[in-house]
Amino acid sequence: MIETTPPQAPARPAPGSAEDLAVRVRVLSVLVDDGSNTLSKVSGLIRRRGFHVRSISVGPSRHPGRSRMTLTVDAGHAETDQVRKQLERLVEVIEIEDVTGQLVHSRELVVAKVRSSEVAGLLSRGAKVLDSGPDGTTVEFAGEGKDVGEFIDELLHHGVLDVARSGPVVMRKTA
């Protein structure tokens, strides 16, 4: 006898709770065709199926004519595996890997400008100074989501003038 899937997904935790988000939010690494329409097809599909994009990063992949997207998607009221299954239906999507909860390297990038020129507290966390002048200091920092969150808390002590932040880019740890 083959092991079969359970009849219904287990009961959902309270909406909005950390457990709930852990169930609903999927991190997907998606290899796509590099066409002019790909991004709108992917984002349009996510919207009309009732999902929500929490973050998206797109860049060239090692395959010519193809891009790598890292998507963090909230499945909303849908069954969570629908996010991957629906994306698989798109002809523009070539390969898709659900890396939620997997051992991955995950990096987000922050570029921030602070008023203070005293940024030792930021440097000690691993930030790099991009430039500094009388108007302030611009730094960059890359790390996992949690580290980035803590780094941004630290920024607040330095008089933040501007922040730009990317979504995560992920790669599975040694395959």
**Nearer CB in complex with another protein: 82/132:** 82
Under 8 Å CB-to-CB from 144, ≥6 apart: which residues? 106, 107, 108, 168
Nearest in space to 104 (alpha carbons), one of 69, 144, 75: 144
Q: Is 40 in the site for another protein (CB under 8 A)?
A: yes
**Nearer CB in complex with another protein: 5/174:** 5
User: In whole angstroms, what is the distance from residue 173 CA to residue 175 CA?
Assistant: 6
**Nearer CB in complex with another protein: 88/118:** 88
Selected from 17, 21, 22, 85, the binder of another protein by CB under 8 A is: 85
Q: Is 147 in the site for another protein (CB under 8 A)?
A: no
Q: Is 86 in the site for another protein (CB under 8 A)?
A: yes
Cβ–Cβ under 8 Å, residues 48 and 86: no
Selected from 19, 79, 131, 162, the binder of another protein by CB under 8 A is: 79
**Nearer CB in complex with another protein: 34/144:** 34
Q: How far is the CB of 64 from another protein (least distance, A)?
A: 13
Dig out the tokens for 77 from the structure. Answer: 């009221």
**CA Rg value for the chain:** 19
Q: How far is the CB of 94 from another protein (least distance, A)?
A: 5
Question: Hey, which bits of 8-159 come out as E strands?
Answer: 25-33, 52-60, 66-74, 93-98, 104-114, 128-133, 136-143
Residue 53 DSSP one-character state = E
Task: Tell me which residues touch another protein (CB under 8 A).
Answer: 1-2, 4-9, 32-33, 36-37, 40-41, 44-45, 48, 78-79, 81-82, 85-86, 88-94
